A and B are shown apart, each in its own frame.
Chain A
């Protein structure tokens, strides 16, 4: 049941991605309505898929990387729909929806069995949820950064094309970038702390310095520096855009590390 809804969601996100990408170069109101509708329907089926899985799932005490990525994708779409609802910013979909699709396809490619690591407490749910929410913040910051650099480039080179007319003002993107990090950073911090506590209970040590843990801490530190730099010495605008793009690459590498481990532990 959940699997069917999951597949339907994937198909819908795929269609939405195609139509949102077409929206980058085409001026058509009908197309944006179409893209939005498909995304909204996809979000609904995605919600059903997640809920049925939670209710009828194997009752695992910890989420798999599959579930984490699916949840991440769902949150991304939720954030997009919320921003869209407030600011009518269709073009954001052209950047976020493809990202959500990639994340969902990765989820589909990964085993959805419970990792071999058996935690004693249900705190691992909390750890995964918080980390993923933090990651959503960084993902939105990344998207805002990419959009910022594109718009900055178009303005500098005076290329007033369709994309230029669709992208919002630079300071809006810079604000979106800042807000996403300001929200995402504490969530990731909490995620790492709860993860460490879970590890302490499960294995008796907070950190065991395996590659993905180390990398996660490096990423955390990086965002910490970015955030402080932004608030104190004016690392905003273009620099902030570059930094958040680099930071998100770190996040993706961490996730890949976790994914490889979970893949390895199954096969």
Chain B
């Protein structure tokens, strides 16, 4: 059984809500579980970190590019009309994946490493051989998906 078996979907959801309340929104309740799936994410942007489990596992964060820009503005406490660069978006979206991954890693029964975050418009290579969970959210009504799987 994968080490990821120790992580329950509800724990992923609680971590995500804590991360968004503390870091993104500075207020609770704006990230909610929602019945939207990856197919609902148009123009997707992906951010991920890999965990040094055996076998290795990955936390993948998916949203649409416009939502990633909105997340960046929220993280940086910018106004809605302020422009953000692609570098800003990649850094901010990657940092959210990093913080989520680090907190999920802390749930595992033993210490494992965590890679630096990567961000791409292309879904990362590697098969989701053992999907351990997919948590679907709406952040301010926008789609956000957290996937956790072995690679």
A binds B: no
Residues of A that sit less than 8 Å from B by CB? none
Report B's interface with A, CB cutoff 8 A: none
